[in-house]
């Protein structure tokens, strides 16, 4: 039995259309938690039974593949590592089970919110930028006050793969549970961590019921990014003070 099957089977399913209608939350406050698989099951077993779970074609966990783009000198990574307010993250996300893909730009909004915008992207071109995609990236980078020419230098840098279960909590907040985590970079680095789980809550403002459940279980939010933390774990020479605690606690043996 997979990890998702161990905790998601008791919830009522909902469709993707229902999820988008009730809680799209493209502008939101995100809180991320990193824990062992055993701790995740222990806490998720206590989630309110009124919670609903996204189900697509009878499956309550979907395979994701994401390619992150950065410049040769890793500008996107370094802006995040240094905590710059004007920073960006560009990724091509592939929903493997439905073979749909989107090019997504994530930036920082006011008061620490995450703003995500996206456009359709060819599913057979997840590992590269199309002309339209590069133009989209140039506009987004320029809107931050950065040089639009940065978009011309963006290349595929890190690929992540995982299985995601999506929950809609009773109060309308969303949560995702990512398992079977794996990373592969452009230089041949590989890392597979099936022993770890990333839980992310997404709410408009106040903490969700799952946040409070995690806090009571002794799990606190951490600064983790699949892109940045993955690169830092694979390349210890990169500046990584922002994620030092997470790297030391969870990734040092793997790296």
Pairing of strands 114-120, 155-168: unpaired
pLDDT per 10-residue tile (average), the chain, 255 residues: 74 89 67 93 92 91 96 96 89 95 84 78 95 95 92 97 94 92 97 95 85 94 93 94 90 62
> Given this model, what pLDDT does residue 255 score?
45
> Given this model, what pLDDT does residue 29 score?
79
> Given this model, what pLDDT does residue 86 score?
85
> Which structure tokens are listed for 117?
């915008």
Could you state, in order of their start, the residue ranges of all structural domains in the chain?
3-251
CA dist., res. 59 & res. 8, Å (int): 10
pTM of the complete model beyond 0.85? yes
Strand, helix or coil for residue 224: coil
Closest CA to 203 of 244, 246, 172, 165: 172
CATH superfamily of 3-251: Hypothetical Protein Pfu-838710-001 (2.40.320.10)
- Taking the CB of residue 171, how many other CB atoms lie within 10 A of it? 14
Show the DSSP H helices in the chain as ranges. 3-8, 16-23, 37-44, 75-81, 131-143, 150-153, 209-216, 226-234, 244-246
Closest CA to 51 of 199, 170, 166, 165: 170
> Which structure tokens are listed for 60?
């309550």
> Given this model, what pLDDT does residue 217 score?
92
Residue 55 sits at the vertex; the CA angle it makes with 51 and 60, to the nearest 5 degrees, is: 85
């Amino acid at each position: 039995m997979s990890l998702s099957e161990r905790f998601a089977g008791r919830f009522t399913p909902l469709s993707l259309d229902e999820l988008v209608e009730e809680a799209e939350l493209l502008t939101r406050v995100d809180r991320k938690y990193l824990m062992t698989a055993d701790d995740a099951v222990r806490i998720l077993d206590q989630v309110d039974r009124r919670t609903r779970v996204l189900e697509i074609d009878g499956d309550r966990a979907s395979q994701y593949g994401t390619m992150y783009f950065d410049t040769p000198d890793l500008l996107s990574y370094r802006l995040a590592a240094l905590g710059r307010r004007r920073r960006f993250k560009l990724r091509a996300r592939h929903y493997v089970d439905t073979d749909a893909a989107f090019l997504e730009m994530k930036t920082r909004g006011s008061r620490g919110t995450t703003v995500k915008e996206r456009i359709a992207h060819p599913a057979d071109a997840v590992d590269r930028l199309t002309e339209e995609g590069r133009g989209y990236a140039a506009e987004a980078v320029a809107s931050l006050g950065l040089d639009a020419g940065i978009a011309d230098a963006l290349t595929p840098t890190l690929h992540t793969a995982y299985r995601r279960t999506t929950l809609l909590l009773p109060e309308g907040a969303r949560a995702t549970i990512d398992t079977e985590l794996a990373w592969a970079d452009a230089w041949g680095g590989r890392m597979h961590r099936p022993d770890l789980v990333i839980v992310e809550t997404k709410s408009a403002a106040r903490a969700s019921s799952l946040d409070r459940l995690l806090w009571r279980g002794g799990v606190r939010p951490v600064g983790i990014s699949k892109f940045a933390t993955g690169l830092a774990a694979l390349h210890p020479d990169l500046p990584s003070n922002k994620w030092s605690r997470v790297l030391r606690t969870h990734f040092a043996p793997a790296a």
